[in-house]
Structure 1
């Protein structure tokens, strides 16, 4: 049941990737999609992960885990740059796309953690969390696959990458249900904070940096706040 719930946002993400395949994506459209996706990720961090993580008696531990997530992003970024240097021109051309892909995969992993953990409380809560993630994951999938498309990555590989998004969310749901249900709140919430630190770094350093490397419509910031607002609405009306 938990895996079926987790498959819902995974399908939403995959649908966003298919949408990017079916329509021609201009640089301006991709810019707007990236801003929208970044707004959603920032909302996930600011409205869902960190407020939950700080509900423990020793909030400094999740805060330290949050900083640890930022440091981990730095290590991951260095690994991406190493791979780009090893693979030459093609790796350099797609490096930012892989950074975005990694960020969305981590976001899906955190979605799975939340769905799996919520399902240990009740199936209805797990369903609510899964439904809340679906509309947020569609623009993320669209922006990611559209970025790979703009870099000239072959279509077959793009389909495989889109399908690969099912792995982190199913893995996260499995960990959330089987492992986190037997863990104390401090460990559980510290993991959420650690994930939040990585996500915040990815949204600022990868997604928005990639967006600003393209023609920047004057209303791009509106899409950033629209993404944040969408997740805020889902948080208030679906989880409230």
Structure 2
């Protein structure tokens, strides 16, 4: 299998995970605790990949200026997106069968594009990093699919339209991942340092400001918190074995 086909195959994992989980949730909605457990686990997985695979490479480049530019640029972009789309998760008061939460879908599209590009960055950094990131984003995509299906359902979107939107979002991820890997394949060490620093900050933002915040419940049992550390340990060990 050529490197391009290999990257495309691994990019299919998150795309299929998002679609299948979203379609499942359209027919069988999960309870709050089950959804929270998945979000905690996904946060632990992504944090593990960041700490074990991406962060050491950024430190190894030892260029404080590029790291600052990439990291700061990512945080600035994510904060700007949050500011612009602040009302994306507000509940819909009068749902209708044709309702589509446009702002939420814009935010989701940007998030998916960034995730796809990050997967491309991972393969640009190395095959091992790319594979682990594909697995991590696959688990994160499960929670994303569940959240998307729930949001569309609460907005009054029909099941058929929701499934169509989920497939479209998955295709956006697939295209951005393949595009990112193609564009970044021959990137210089300087450019790769900048992009990895950007991806590092974007993933940390995703974990701390989105996944964990959405995962926390009012009365959270200990086993839900433990799923974060199970996810972290699982991919820490996987990184040692791959």
The 1:109/1:237 distance shift into structure 2, 3 A limit, reads same
Name which of 208, 211, 220 aligns with 2:212. 208
> Which sits farther off after the overlay, 97-106 or 69-78?
97-106
Q: Structure 1: give runs of 5+ residues left out of the alignment.
A: none
Partner of 1:229: 233
Residue 172 of structure 1 and its aligned partner are, at CA, apart by 3.0
- SS in structure 1 at match of 2:60: coil
Residue 67 of structure 1 and its aligned partner are, at CA, apart by 2.5
The 1:114/1:51 distance shift into structure 2, 3 A limit, reads same
1:70 aligns with 2:75: yes
Name which of 198, 203, 216 aligns with 1:194. 198
1:35 aligns with 2:40: yes
Partner of 2:8: 3
1:217 aligns with 2:221: yes
1:79 aligns with 2:84: yes
Please provide the CA RMSD for this pair.
3.3
The 1:229/1:198 distance shift into structure 2, 3 A limit, reads same
Q: Determine the C-alpha separation between the residues in 1 that align with 2:26 and 2:53.
A: 31
- SS in structure 1 at match of 2:86: helix
Q: Determine the C-alpha separation between the residues in 1 that align with 2:85 and 2:26.
A: 25
Partner of 1:113: 121
Q: Is the 8 A contact 1:70 1:201 kept in 2?
A: yes
Q: Structure 2: give runs of 5+ residues left out of the alignment.
A: none
Please identify which structure carries the higher helix content.
1
Q: Is the 8 A contact 2:43 2:231 kept in 1?
A: yes
The 1:166/1:130 distance shift into structure 2, 3 A limit, reads farther
User: TM-score, normalization: structure 2?
Assistant: 0.76
| Count of aligned residue pairs for this structure pair | 227
Deviations 1:123-176 (A, max 9, x none): xx3xx5565345434432332222234332433343234321332343233232
Q: Is the 8 A contact 1:17 1:141 kept in 2?
A: no
Residue 8 of structure 1 and its aligned partner are, at CA, apart by 3.6
Structure 1 outlier segments of 4+, above 4 Å? 82-85, 87-91, 93-105, 128-131
Q: Is the 8 A contact 2:44 2:229 kept in 1?
A: yes
> Which sits farther off after the overlay, 46-55 or 70-79?
46-55
